[in-house]
Structure 1
Amino acid sequence: MQNVPEECSRDAADDPWEEGERTLFQHGGAPGEGKAAEAADRESLMMELTRLVQAAVRRSSWWERRGLDCAILTAAFACLPPAFLLLSSSRVLLFALGMLLMGAAHAVITVKGTHLASHGALSESQAWGEFWAVFFIEVCGSFTARVGVHAHVKMHHAHTNVIGLGDSSTWRLPFLPRSIYLFVAPLAVPIITPLVALGQLRRQSAAQSLRTVLMVALGLYAQYWLLLNASGFRSAGGALLCMLVCRAMFSVPYIHVNIFQHIGLSMFSPSRRPKRIYQMTYGVLNLPRNPLLDWTFGHSLISCHVEHHLFPSLSDNMCLKVKPIVSKYLKEKKLPYQEDSYLSRLHLFFHKYQELMVFAPPITELVGVQ
């Protein structure tokens, strides 16, 4: 393990993401007058990288910034009518094709769509951004938008790999054996998600709770009704089973991705952690390009996760576009740009399950970071 000198650490209250991404371009304060120049020099790494990325964004068209990802989401919705039609077929292959098509469309909408919506990456309008967050997270994702955005943006992104705050601890179930946790338990995510959403209602106002209940019910009932009336399912049990299978189709890699890219990397104390650029480069990992997962989950969750954590409001396509800029800059500055394969991470977690997922991870002290 490496260590960071005291002047490179910051207090949790000094986190520049506490008020959102607008503070990304601000300098952090130095912990002492005599160290102001050194702190400003360290902070300038993030500022310099930000200017490079900003320039690339300004040179990009609307299609590159948002259009392509909106088109992918539109295509996912366009796949639903033929999927319902195929599910009405008595032929096994056509029925299976309908299941696969609906499962893939559901993954794109509920993973890629909810992720982009939670970051406001689907529209420059704040009002439209809030609308899409409610639509994708509550109607499509069966969760509460307010809690989802807070947990992901305000906690996970603001406190990435900070133990007890943004350390992906919600995905740890230490009482489960490793095989069950990695390959069986994720299949229950479609059932657990709306139940957890109901449990979060007590933290919301009456109006927000009512909206969440209505939107989640609308999304679930719409699919159920279409399976009965468009696909011709004759029993409620068959329709519900089909819903479960389609919604759980990509849940195993979804849970894997959530843990592979953070857990097992550097973890930090809430009261003592490095500046943001070190926190993200030491605590975030990219998986290689994967045609299936990149297009269903989005580049920012797979091959551009480092870029996403450095610049969360960028769309998936923009994260992919600035990836060469970010990787080149970090390597030039001798900062880590961590990458590993899906199978390598699966092998690591399977054989070190107790260490990584059961016991509390050790705090990393980065020494010698300049």
Structure 2
Amino acid sequence: MQDVPEEWREVDADPRREGGPMPLERESLMMELRRRVQRTVRESSWWETRGVDCAILTAAFACLPAAFLLLRSSQVLWFTLGLLLMGTAHAVITVKGAHLASHGALSESRAWGDVWAIFFIEVCGSFTARAGVQAHVKMHHAHTNIIGLGDSSTWRVPFLPRGVYLFLAPLAVPIITPLVALAQLRGQSPAYAVRTVLLVALGWYSHYWLLLHVSGFRSAGSAVLCMLACRAMFSLPYIHVNIFQHIGLAMFSPNRRPKRIYQMTHGVLNLPRNPLLDWTFGHSLISCHVEHHLFPSLSDHMCLKVKPIVSKYLKEKELPYQEDAYLSRLRLFFHKYQELMVFAPPITELVGVQ
């Protein structure tokens, strides 16, 4: 039996931030759903709340020695298998691991949560933990689809043609990420900036050193190309998922924002279960994204466990529970690229709903 996350002990969550009290009469729907989910969390074991996801991350790290050794092979089949194994493990660690760590979902201890955030986001993910948590948790989650605050505008690059944006530009994510991290260090204390640079450099150099000394790469150029190939392997679906599940849905004005449950049910979309992406990126980023935005402190496995509760409740209350297929969203963005990714999105008014 697990303790309830700290923010659930409040009366309810202010839609402008994670946590914080709000009068019961203003959020009765959210409070009722929260109680149902809270009951399930209390009845769940540590294995369900955190253990399953920790085991998946451990398995990803355990695959790395085999991947480095397979990359020694001169046979194309074994070398390709090593490349695929390393790319998949890297995606699990840097997407699933960093995402869970940013929400403190890997440990009940706040101190250990900070350690895991630094490790997964900075050492493994080549980004700054402070900026990552600020942008994702404190802005995107608190202000989901609020124009100018958490509207996913970070992922828009309107000067790029749709083909380049959707299918080529994401491959540059491994190079762009540390450069953006450096830009985010402006205004930070020298000690913090130095720490972040050293930890990001440690992650890159460790990968490079192992490719040279374990995988047997004979030149720096070939080792770097292998690093970039592994790190870019899941970049396309990573960018796609980030835009598919929010952009094109209801957008709200900062001055007339809806209550939290309406904000999340109208502005968040689930993709169907996917054997590869669901386990690589985590359920909360793929098939349980609605659940994740309603209860961001839950682990991936717990989001999957409460999914039937959330979907049933929202349908009972005649609230939207939005789902769409990956290829369907890809076709939508390809054909409506100008409207969705170039022009400013229209504001949605939920008249008569609240």
Aligned to 1:10: none
Which of 21, 24, 30 is the aligned partner of 1:46? 30
Q: Does 1:245 align with 2:240?
A: no
Aligned to 1:348: 332
Q: C-alpha distance in 1, partners of 2:30/2:341? A: 31
Aligned to 1:326: 310
Q: C-alpha distance in 2, partners of 1:50/1:205? A: 39
Q: C-alpha distance in 2, partners of 1:174/1:317? A: 36
Aligned to 2:191: 207
Which of 99, 108, 112 is the aligned partner of 2:96? 112
**Matched-pair contact (CA < 8 Å) for 2:151–2:251:** yes
- How does 1:268-283 map onto structure 2 within 5 Å? 268-283=252-267
Which of 12, 22, 29 is the aligned partner of 1:27? 22
| CA drift at 1:210 | 1.0
**Matched-pair contact (CA < 8 Å) for 1:80–1:105:** yes
Q: C-alpha distance in 2, partners of 1:361/1:303? A: 25
| CA drift at 1:19 | 5.4
Q: In structure 2, give the amino acid aligned to 1:67.
A: G
Aligned to 1:37: none
- How does 1:107-256 map onto structure 2 within 5 Å? 107-256=91-240
RMSD: 1.2
Q: C-alpha distance in 2, partners of 1:15/1:180? A: 40
Q: C-alpha distance in 2, partners of 1:204/1:70? A: 31
Aligned to 1:16: 14
Aligned residues: 343
Q: C-alpha distance in 1, partners of 2:191/2:321? A: 44
**Mind listing any 5+ residue stretches in structure 1 that lack a counterpart?**
1-13, 29-39
Which of 254, 258, 262 is the aligned partner of 2:242? 258
- 1:210-243 CA-partner distances (Å, limit 9, x unpaired): 1100100000000000000000000000000000
Q: C-alpha distance in 2, partners of 1:303/1:267? A: 21
Q: Measured at CA, do residues 17 and 222 of structure 1 come closer, stay the same or move farther in structure 2, by a change above 3 Å?
A: farther
Q: In structure 2, give the amino acid aligned to 1:16.
A: D
Which of 64, 69, 72 is the aligned partner of 1:88? 72
| CA drift at 1:96 | 0.2
**Matched-pair contact (CA < 8 Å) for 1:287–1:341:** yes
Q: C-alpha distance in 2, partners of 1:43/1:68? A: 32
| CA drift at 1:202 | 1.0
Q: Does 1:79 align with 2:74?
A: no
| CA drift at 1:206 | 1.3
- 1:3-60 CA-partner distances (Å, limit 9, x unpaired): xxxxxxxxxxx98155533x2xx324xxxxxxxxxxx545110001000000000000
- 1:139-169 CA-partner distances (Å, limit 9, x unpaired): 0000000000000000000000001110110
Q: What is the identity percentage for the equivalent residue pairs of Structure 1 and Structure 2? A: 82
| CA drift at 1:271 | 1.1
Q: In structure 2, give the amino acid aligned to 1:27.
A: M
Q: In structure 1, give the amino acid aligned to 2:173.
A: V
- How does 1:283-322 map onto structure 2 within 5 Å? 283-322=267-306
Q: In structure 1, give the amino acid aligned to 2:93.
A: I
**Matched-pair contact (CA < 8 Å) for 2:17–2:143:** no
Aligned to 2:343: 359
Residue 274 of structure 1 aligns to a residue whose secondary structure is: coil
Residue 90 of structure 1 aligns to a residue whose secondary structure is: coil
Aligned to 1:4: none
Aligned to 2:7: none
| CA drift at 1:299 | 0.1
Q: C-alpha distance in 2, partners of 1:249/1:27? A: 43
Structure ranking higher on relative contact order (CA contacts 8 Å, 6+ apart): 1
Aligned to 1:36: none
Q: C-alpha distance in 2, partners of 1:328/1:318? A: 16
| CA drift at 1:277 | 0.3
Q: C-alpha distance in 1, partners of 2:278/2:156? A: 24
Segments of 4+ in structure 1 off by > 6 A? none
Q: C-alpha distance in 2, partners of 1:284/1:89? A: 44
Q: In structure 1, give the amino acid aligned to 2:49.
A: R
**Mind listing any 5+ residue stretches in structure 2 that lack a counterpart?**
1-11
**Matched-pair contact (CA < 8 Å) for 1:15–1:158:** no
**Matched-pair contact (CA < 8 Å) for 2:13–2:22:** no
Q: C-alpha distance in 1, partners of 2:15/2:192? A: 25
| CA drift at 1:128 | 0.2
Aligned to 1:31: none
Q: C-alpha distance in 1, partners of 2:267/2:258? A: 11
Report the TM-score, using the length of structure 1 for normalisation: 0.91
